[in-house]
Structure 1
Amino acid sequence: MEIDSPIAIVVEIQEVTIRAAPLPRTGDMRINAPEGSPSRLPLVVYVLALGTLLMGTSEFMVAGLLPQIAGDLQVSVAQAGLLITVFALGMIVGAPAMAMLTLRLPARWTLVLALGLFSVGHLVAALGSGFGLLLAARFVTALATGAFWAVANVVATRAAGPAASSRAVGVVGSGAMLANVVGVPLGAFAGQLVGWRGPFWALVAFAAAAIVAIGRWVPNGTQRRGAAVSVRTELSALRSGRVWLVLAACVTTNAGVLGTYTYIAPLLTDRAGIVAGLVPLVLVGFGGGALVGFLFGGRLGDQRPHATTVAAAGATALTLLALGLLSGFAAASVVLVVLLGFFGFVATPVLISLAVRFAGRAPTLGSALTVAAFNLGTAAGSWIGGRALALPLGATGPATIGAAVAALTLIPTITIACGQRHPRPSHR
């Protein structure tokens, strides 16, 4: 069954003729995807996008609730910030670990169990009274989030077929981007009205509804693992040099973009002179740019994956450099922040799709490793950006250093592109 989703309607920018090298045929997934280049994606792709919308809201909404959490649990705001660090750590460790632990489960059951664990984590957080318990609940939630995203990417690519794999990954991941635009602001607003526990209760209810939807729309035959697939087979993906190049690109991309985004408020207020009350609107612009870029990249990436990743890396580095140089001008800064969201996430669905393809017989592990790599980049970028603030560059330090880090993405992306242009002879 195929429909037009509201998520897709937002970014129906243009139709492109999609031609991509087919993904390896494996025993992991047995969804009968339509041949050719479908104008619409299967309904299951949009159902999975709603799941990632919940995941993205959970991941990012805590930033807007930190003062309330700190006051209620009698800890400092800095200590409450550990809730974000623990979540990132859970994603880094949890995505590949959960992919291996659920090795022999059908995809539908893995997604349902992940959503169930996600719901339990939020239930514990909503009922708990101690900060340590809340930290543990956030870690468990991150494990579930990593597992869901890793499997959802593979389900989407198989459901859409080889000709629309990047586009399908773009739609699935757009749920997380949409969380920045809609879910996170709504969560912060609800937290002000009913307290910080209110958004956690809401996510428990929405996760329960998502379990019903996943159980209804992910086909019974969605088996991720055949009899020949084992832990050893999954780990064989680690021997692929191209997988490691993709993972390196994931790390440097997120480190450059989100390392700057973490400290964008001081840049906008101190350098651009934007009133603090207007900064959230600029951040919504960043989220909107990221949403459009994510889906546009998914469409374009099926036609020209390597040109997309190389061009996105160059454009991201130039945008960050311009942001540092022109941060004294309010209008230019706002436009560049929106462009940073766009260019910074154009390559993301393409990189995920390439990792799934290059992983061969271990697509789920390939997908899980990209989730871990993106979160590693976020953690590393935030640390680097914090150190950059202490440089003589001041508030422009994160953007300037971020431009150099983002430019490093050109190394693995160009290497992959050259390797595809001049493939090594195969020996059977």
Structure 2
Amino acid sequence: MPIAVYVLGLSIFAQGTSELMLAGLLPELATDLHVSIPQAGLLISAFAVGMLVGAPVLAVVTLTWSRRTALLVSLAIFALTHVAGALTTSYAVLLATRIVGAFVYAGFWSVAAVTVMTLVRSDSRARAMSIVTGGLTIATIIGLPLGTVLGQHLGWQSAFWTVAGLCVLAMAGVATTVPAGRPDPATAPRLGDELRVLRNARLWLAFATTALVTATILVVFSYLAPLLTQTTGLPPGAVPGVLALYGLGSFIGITIGGRFADALPFHTLFISITGLVVLSGLLALTATVPVTIIGVIVLLGGFGFAANPALNARVFSLAGDAPTLATATNFSAFNVGITAGPWLGGLAIDAGAGYPALGWIAVGTGLAALATVLFAAYVPVSSQGLAGRGASDRSRRAA
């Protein structure tokens, strides 16, 4: 693997720490900003909304940019939003900085994904993406619990300052390893080709799978800290350790998923989503039992992240020779799930259903995700709209 693949994975670690760390800081944020925990949870949804819009918009805006320039600009703006967030005491201002930061983070993701896919062979794409996305799982293992510890002992602002510093380091790595050249005008992506690819119905099934799998993970993950302290009965000091174990499970899951997703995308998706459904039901039934719930949380991380390489590589394969906008749209689909998960969970909590009900919501979204996988695997879907017969053939092979 080119060194740039690992650098981009570390860059995702820096930004992914911010994406994830609020799940461990909700009690502190709610207290300091004088809002309820579900309102604090909306900061997670706001971040997802920013990514939802940012991925396709910035994919189009930066279509002819040097990829290194696009990555560096995104990192710089992301760092500045965290400086602003650390300095504010206003819920509204913090909400705005989360949206802006997520907007450029989405642009980074989509440019990084295309960069990685063009640096490696076609039979190594899922593995390469598992390395980049592995930065997010390392953020779960290290960044999330570290952010939680910092928030509990030094205030949640300290976590924001830490993320800003990590982004500066990531900029140095990107500047020295990612090629600087602009796309050749003769081979540069064209917006018309990118839009035509989106007429492929199989792509939209893949986007639906991405959104539903992500919602299944986030409906529980977003409220892990209050679930562990208020329902399971663990002390607040134990939360960072449990979150680190979740991250360890995620790292193992994405590593295994990356090994099999190139050759067996549907098998990988079926097994991982089925595992999510079963484990979510078990969480709902055993949320008050500490030993059981900790094991379930570790496995949820493993099965959830095992699906990620297949979700990314399948979309890239289906998009053929015009993958930029399709890849960006898939990141938007991830963020539809990230938005929907905390929102659905917040509705249940506000209605007095209790934190164990989050597991049953995840069962429902997981079954819907499984249905999209089975439909795409066994029901023929027209490939009309792809750019030529070669793209259609690639679509069938990817499916």
**Shorter-chain-normalised TM-score: which range?**
0.7 to 0.9
Which residue matches 2:177? 217
Matches within 5 A, 1:1-400: 41-65=1-25, 75-78=34-37, 80-128=40-88, 130-192=90-152, 194-221=154-181, 223=183, 229-265=189-225, 267-268=227-228, 272-389=232-349, 394-400=354-360
Percent of aligned positions with the same letter in both sequences?
A: 35
Which residue matches 1:4? none
101-110 or 223-232, which deviates more: 223-232
Q: SS in structure 1 opposite 2:183?
A: coil
Cα 1:420–1:53 change in 2 (3 A) is farther
User: Per-residue deviation at 1:156?
Assistant: 1.5
Once residues 196 and 387 of structure 1 are traced to their aligned partners in structure 2, the CA distance between those partners, rounded to angstroms, is 25
AA at the equivalent of 2:166: F
Quick check: 2:254–2:308 contact (8 Å CA) kept in 1? yes
Quick check: 1:106–1:224 contact (8 Å CA) kept in 2? no
165-174 or 380-389, which deviates more: 380-389
Q: SS in structure 1 opposite 2:262?
A: helix
Q: Cα deviation per residue 1:204-248 (whole Å; 9 max; x = unaligned)? A: 332222222112111234738755632222222321111111110
Q: Cα deviation per residue 1:361-419 (whole Å; 9 max; x = unaligned)? A: 33122221122111211221222233344779744321122112101112221233336
Q: SS in structure 2 opposite 1:239?
A: coil
Once residues 92 and 287 of structure 2 are traced to their aligned partners in structure 1, the CA distance between those partners, rounded to angstroms, is 40
- State the TM-score, normalizing by the size of structure 1: 0.81
Question: How large is the Cα RMSD of the aligned pairs?
Answer: 3.0
Unaligned 5+ runs, structure 2: 391-399
* Number of corresponding residues: 386
AA at the equivalent of 1:43: I
Once residues 263 and 282 of structure 2 are traced to their aligned partners in structure 1, the CA distance between those partners, rounded to angstroms, is 29
Once residues 163 and 306 of structure 1 are traced to their aligned partners in structure 2, the CA distance between those partners, rounded to angstroms, is 16
Unaligned 5+ runs, structure 1: 1-40
Once residues 245 and 51 of structure 1 are traced to their aligned partners in structure 2, the CA distance between those partners, rounded to angstroms, is 29
AA at the equivalent of 1:355: V
- State the TM-score, normalizing by the size of structure 2: 0.86
Q: Cα deviation per residue 1:147-204 (whole Å; 9 max; x = unaligned)? A: 1111111211221211110011111011112112111222333345554433333333
Cα 1:141–1:228 change in 2 (3 A) is closer
Once residues 423 and 272 of structure 1 are traced to their aligned partners in structure 2, the CA distance between those partners, rounded to angstroms, is 49
Q: SS in structure 2 opposite 1:302?
A: coil
304-313 or 55-64, which deviates more: 55-64
More helix by share: 2
Quick check: 1:385–1:402 contact (8 Å CA) kept in 2? no
Q: SS in structure 2 opposite 1:408?
A: helix
Q: Cα deviation per residue 1:296-331 (whole Å; 9 max; x = unaligned)? A: 211111221121112212222122122223445432
AA at the equivalent of 1:76: V
Cα 1:226–1:93 change in 2 (3 A) is farther
AA at the equivalent of 2:312: I
Once residues 267 and 69 of structure 1 are traced to their aligned partners in structure 2, the CA distance between those partners, rounded to angstroms, is 16
User: Per-residue deviation at 1:263?
Assistant: 3.5
